Amino acid sequence: MDTASAAAVETFRPQLLDRRVRLLAASAAVPAAYFNELIAEIDAALGRIDKGSYGRCETCHDPIEADRLAQDPLVRFCLDHLSQAELEAHQRDLELAAQIQSKLLPLPNITPEAWDTQYRYQPVGAVGGDYCELIALSEGESLFFAVGDVAGKGVAASLLMTHLSAIFRSLLSLDLSLTDVMSRANRLFCESTASAHYATLACGRATASGVELCNAGHCTPLLLKRDGTKRLDSPGLPLGLFCSSQYPVRQVSLDAGDSLVLYSDGITESQDVEGNQYEEERLIRSLWDHRERTTGAMADGVLQDVGRFRQSRPPSDDITLLIVRRRG
């Protein structure tokens, strides 16, 4: 038995048997014809497990995408071989998910008095697993900002991203310290997701007196000052790995015109046609080249630079870039 069929026996057989028991218990509530159809589908899936063909596309015999199988253990075809009707339904689901996700992105007009902000969010598919947040708190007196990256890709990652967004938005309404927000977000994320799920995230709170930063295993935030660029390292484990993690806060002072830059590894791990990565060093250079420009022009300039570096190679990961600049 290959590993895929062993996993099918272990994971999906009990799930399917459980589903069968539940369906039998609810038989009175379902029209007979529909009930028979559902039972037949479950039995066919159990039959495929016995034959060792479970989880393989019935057209091409390649493994079916794991996240689709996890969502619906009865799927029989890979994405490339869905029927036209299934394909259209799948497309509609994706469009709806993309619409829902776009509503979770920060509004473009968040401009608290002392800060100038810009972000760019480019998911590689219809939906993304990056998290980008900008929230004005205490009637504009402080600004919360974050960039995160949920492990995994596609719809499954985007669902975790919406979960993370809901956690942060509810915690931020409680007027907690930044370190408390982070440790509680970590606990909630950890307790409510599977152990294989985690997210890296860098976030901060900007007030008149300066900026506090926390980092949960995410790409190091960068501080662009008049005389050079500083990497703002601070320790912290990704969210969701261990239920009790501590997130020390780092204080950063920004002078007028200084920019703080948060980003996801979709930028630094962008590859050119030969497989070379863009790397942090190129990002720092690109930001520096655009330091005299507005935050919007700086963000666009960096993404154009990444695009030029990639040449014809398509992006393979979501890209997020967030700039917070102290107004002069």
Nearest residue to Zn ion, scored by beta-carbon proximity = 57
Q: How far is CA 89 from CA 54, 79, 86, 112, 263, in A?
A: 23, 12, 5, 42, 33
CB of 71 to Zn ion, least distance (A): 17
Beta bridge partners of 326: 115
For the sheet containing 199-207, what is the strand order?
130-137, 142-150, 199-207, 210-216, 250-252
Q: Which is nearer to Zn ion, 19 or 56 (CB)?
A: 56
Q: Which residues bind Zn ion (CB under 5 A)?
A: 57, 59-60, 78, 80-81
Closest contact distance (angstroms) between CB of 38 and Zn ion is: 24
Written as six digits, the tokens of 79 are: 């994405």
Residue whose CB is less far from Zn ion, 80 or 233: 80
Tell me 326's DSSP state: E
Task: Give the residue with the Cβ less far from Zn ion, 60 or 297.
Answer: 60
Rg for the chain, CA atoms, rounded: 23
Q: Are 255 and 226 in contact (CB under 8 A)?
A: yes
Cβ-contact 254, 223 below 8 angstroms? yes
Half-sphere exposure of 108 (CA within 13 A, CB side): 5
CB of 57 to Zn ion, least distance (A): 3
Q: How far is the CB of 59 from Zn ion (least distance, A)?
A: 5
Nearer to Zn ion, 82 or 224 (CB): 82
Question: Min. distance of Cβ 87 from Zn ion in angstroms?
Answer: 12
In the bound state with Zn ion, the residue whose beta carbon lies nearer, of 80 and 289, is 80
- Please state the closest distance from residue 58 (CB atom) to Zn ion, in A: 8
Measured distance between the N- and C-terminal CA atoms of the chain, rounded to whole angstroms: 67
Q: Return d(Cα 276, Cα 191) in angstroms, integer.
A: 38
Q: Which C-beta is closer to Zn ion: that of 58 or that of 113?
A: 58
| Residue 107 CA: distances (Å) to CA of 25, 118, 136, 154, 165 | 47, 10, 11, 23, 14
For residues 85 and 174, which CB has a smaller minimum distance to Zn ion in the complex?
85
Q: Tokens 């967030």 identify what position?
A: 322
* Least Cβ distance, residue 127 to Zn ion (angstroms): 22
Residue with Cβ nearer Zn ion (76 or 290): 76
CB of 196 to Zn ion, least distance (A): 25
- Dihedral over alpha carbons 283, 125, 238, 131 (to 10 degrees): 80
